[in-house]
Structure 1
């Protein structure tokens, strides 16, 4: 009896995809078993990776090779494993302040070393040779900076190759001539999936290799792998995937690697509500990268239609940390209804391991096409300017913070000023000579004011954080206030 070849191919492909679906579900469920617990925050340093790399060196599965040095002399290591015939190259933290995938790479190493998933690991490692540079810009990572010590963006150095980090990346790519390259980045948390209020938690791109954005087999295969990864992420962050702009950038590594013959898969880790340190996004990187390696190993990605890539929504940038809608603002005796868009910018503390917030009013007016991680409809509420008071007025009151805010005080005068730029109090601290600026809403100001309804102050906005005055402050999410001297 002859079996229809098309039907047989369909059945086999269906079986493979079902097996992969089970694999990815188990990856997600068991992530904590493999998570590298020494890496718990974004501001990781080169020194934190060295003991992990030393541990890997002792495992016979891995080969660790020094392939270059950063400008300040930190080693750039290539970590390789697998015995297959298809080379896959993954590099992370080309930008020093984009470490989410770096953490995920060490989770992947733990997955490889540990017990479990023997069949899937055998499939991957027998078909592929994997090569990782987990931190391409260690000097930038040291100060949590996008650029390297030379002050250039390594990802715009693919042609001139003035940075040693860029030269190393080019040298490794040329020596491996990998079929696929994973270019691992972070993007702003303010990107959203186009026409939706959902953050672009993960964004993908198969970079163009010319201005015409043509699709050859190399780029097309990268698109197919991305479509597969998108299908995975949709299960865990539905609607939170974007497609990065594919305008050809002739100086960029991703675009040039595609031109040089490597199918590039750009992954950009964006924002996720309640995940400022990107630990959930790290998990999504781990799951999607391992899933992609599995589909590359068994070549099931080849059955995916390119139209699936085009269905991924484009990236947009229309998110604020806090959006206040329809609030009434009085100016020169007249009332206006505005929307306010507030972003909570991070300012690094000394050592670049911690940060504080210095928020800014990013935009105002009609923001009906924008969204917020947090949105408050302030229809019927009126903006009230903050006042300054001295500590003596409230020092004897045990509910000092709440009473200060309910009385409309956003600034507290102190005789002895803390030696810092921020304070973990729900109001700003100022010295005795500080004059509170005349209140005027305009983009660029620090958003500190009150909301009034029916003659009562109901909410405080302190350094861009919205606080309800009828609820205990200790139960509300608040970052910090500022110190003005």
Structure 2
């Protein structure tokens, strides 16, 4: 795949707080050859729109911000649209081979409030069967009418995830959702696995060792599991942490690359070239990261047992239209096998001196 990411990145939309207003502004820039449809409204009456790109036989449905505070994939989808507006060979191939239907923001009320749930405090990804919420009804209506051949379910995951038993963050994670409690491999789930293998191989060129496999516990109330049960190959995309990238501007690039690779493989009819068994070679996600790990914390507070570590996680908090990352002490103890995106080992003089300058962290452990 050849592209200049700096040229196609949608620079007007950055950071973690992405709302309906930004999406509406972007949609106004989209050429008329890509029709925009009003699919329905949220609990608060905010429009939920889709865009159609291409006219090919392979129909692909993708939706983002089902959880309102998970905006990285939304940014990546806008980058994808910019790429497809170009005249590259790959863009032309995709538009001739595929029909994409994209819902860039399924939960605009949750996006505005920067919450996982919708305005009725319902997790839309646990509402696939009962469909009690207007947003759930919109997605299912689109699915039933569009009859996709593939579904891309686009999400963010927390900074706690690492890859396997390593100290590598799970910058991108994938899942071929189960379609039954036995987690058996149906034909459609197998296709999902093969597409994930293709994306994993591509991403290893950019972020080796930073791709994980999300937990495949079956839950029929989840949208991905439901669509897999309906015999549509479905893939869960999870945007995670890249070192130093709390705004997830690097991660959006890797999600864009993932989606583009999947579309290339579908367009080239080359899914069969990827071994299904290689899916299981992708390491599982584990939850072994803290945002900040303070080792030997007893050296600044003797109430802690010698050798103890303090694990701190950030709480993402919406303040005046910006997201603040407020530290919260999560755990103090031996914390063996745990990692920090930032680590202070207080046996090291430089780390001890550095921590004393970080009053927010220092106050939490004193």
TM range (shorter): over 0.9
Which of 210, 226, 229 is 1:259 aligned to?
A: 229
Q: Distance in 1 between matches of 2:136 and 2:11?
A: 30
The alignment partner of 2:196 has SS state of helix
| Correspondence for 2:37 | 65
Q: Which residue of 2 aligns with 1:54?
A: 28
- Partner residue of 2:14? 40
Q: Which runs of 5+ in 2 are unaligned?
A: none
In the alignment, does 2:340 pair up with 1:372?
Answer: yes
| RCO higher in structure (CA 8 A, sep ≥6) | 2
Deviation track 1:330-381 (CA, whole Å, cap 9, x = no partner) reads 647x96231221223232213xx21334312211221121011122222377
Q: In the alignment, what sits opposite 2:188?
A: 218
Of residues 324, 329, 333 in structure 2, which corresponds to 1:361? Answer: 329
Whole-Å separation in 2 of the counterparts to 1:460 and 1:84: 58
Q: CA deviation at 1:256?
A: 0.3
Q: CA deviation at 1:310?
A: 0.3
Q: In the alignment, which residue of structure 2 is the partner of 1:446?
A: none
Which residue in the other structure is 1:209 paired with?
Answer: 179
Cα displacement (A) at 1:51: 2.4
Kindly provide the CA deviation profile for residues 216-275 of structure 1, in whole angstroms up to 9, marking residues without a partner as x.
Answer: 110100100001101111111111111000010111100000011211110000111111
| Candidates 94, 104, 109, aligned match of 2:76 | 104
Relative distance call for 1:380 and 1:113 in structure 2 (3 A) is closer
In the alignment, the residues of structure 2 paired with residue 154 and residue 335 of structure 1 have an alpha-carbon distance, to the nearest angstrom, of 43
Runs of 4+ in 1 over 6 A off after TM superposition: none
Residue matched to 1:151: 121
Shift of the alpha carbon at 1:124? 1.2
CA contact (8 A) 1:179 1:261 kept: no
Q: Name 2:272's counterpart in structure 1.
A: 302
Task: Note the alpha carbon deviations across 1:383-438, whole angstroms, 9 max, x for none.
Answer: xxxxxxxxxxxxxxxxxxxxxxxxxxxxxxxxxxxxxxxxxxxxxxxxxxxxxxxx
Match of 2:134 among 161, 164, 168: 164
Matched, 1:459 2:356: yes
The residue that corresponds to 1:277 in the other structure is 247
Cα distance in 2 for partners of 1:256, 1:303 equals 27
| Residue equivalent to 1:80 | 52
Aligned-partner Cα distance in 2 for 1:286–1:331: 48
Unaligned runs of 5+ in 1: 1-22, 382-449, 466-480
Q: C-alpha distance in 2, partners of 1:183/1:238? A: 23
Q: Is the 8 A contact 1:42 1:277 kept in 2?
A: yes
Tell me the distance in 1 between the aligned counterparts of 2:252 and 2:264. Answer: 18
Deviates more, 1:70-79 or 1:245-254: 70-79
Q: 2:153 aligns with which of 177, 183, 207?
A: 183
The structure with the larger Rg is 1
Distance 1:263 1:458, change over 3 A: closer
Shift of 1:460: 4.0
1:236 matches 2:206: yes
SS across alignment from 1:336: coil
Q: Deviations over 1:72-114 (max 9, x none)?
A: 1111112112121111101000000001111111111111112
Task: Indicate the SS of the match to 1:43.
Answer: coil
Aligned equivalents of 2:294, 2:16: Cα separation in 1: 29
Residues 379 and 202 of structure 1: is their aligned pair in 2 closer, same or farther, counting only changes over 3 Å? Answer: same
- Measure the CA separation in 2 of the matches of 1:121 and 1:355: 34
Matched residue SS, 1:79: strand
Deviation at 1:160, TM superposition (A): 0.7
Matched, 1:91 2:49: no
Secondary structure in 1 aligned to 2:344?
Answer: strand
Alpha carbons 2:17, 2:323 under 8 Å: kept: no
The question of whether the paired residues in 2 share the 8 Å contact of 1:93 and 1:184 is answered with: yes
